[in-house]
Amino acid sequence: MFAVGLLLSSNPDAAGDMVQVPSTLFQGSLLLGLISRAILGYTAMHASTVTIHPLMIAGWCGLTTSAFNMLPVGRLDGGRAVQGAFGRSALIGFGLTTYTLLGLGVLGGPLSLPWGLYVLICQRNPEKPC
C-alpha cells in the first residue's frame, strides 16, 4: 500500500484525493524517506508539507505496526522468533537490549516512547514453551 500510495502521489492529475502531511513524517525512517524522496523528488520532500495519497498513510501505518511487532521481546512475534531460534535465556538478553535501545530512542524521536511503554507494560513476559 505504501508503494502504490507513493505512485499515486507522484501523479499530479489526481490532486482531489491528496492530503497535506508535514514533511517530518518521512524523517522517522531512513529507508522509507529515501524511497519517498526517489519517487516524489527532492524538492517535494523538503517543503514544509507534502501532498500525498491517503493510501500511502495507510501503508506507512502498516509498515510501522509490522516493525513494532518484530521487536524481540515478550510475546511479540520477534520475541517468539528469538525464543524459538536461540532459547529462553537469549530472549532475556535480547529483551534487555531492546528496552535499552527503546529508552535511548526517546532521545532521538517521540515514536520510541509509546512502543517502549506498551512493551514494558503488556509484553514483558516471555512466551510459554509447548
Cell of 7: 505512485
Supply φ then ψ for residue 124, to 5 degrees: -80, -25
Tens of pLDDT, residue by residue over 113-129, are 777 777 777 776 666 66
Tens of pLDDT, residue by residue over 67-124, are 888 988 888 888 889 988 998 888 889 988 988 888 887 777 677 777 777 777 777 6
69/84 Cα distance (integer angstroms) = 16
| Total-model pTM | 0.72
Domain ranges in the chain are 2-65, 71-122
Please return the burial class of 130, using the count of CB atoms within 10 Å of its CB with bins 0-12, 13-18 and 19+: exposed
Cell of 121: 507494560
Nearest to 97 by CA among 78, 121, 122: 78
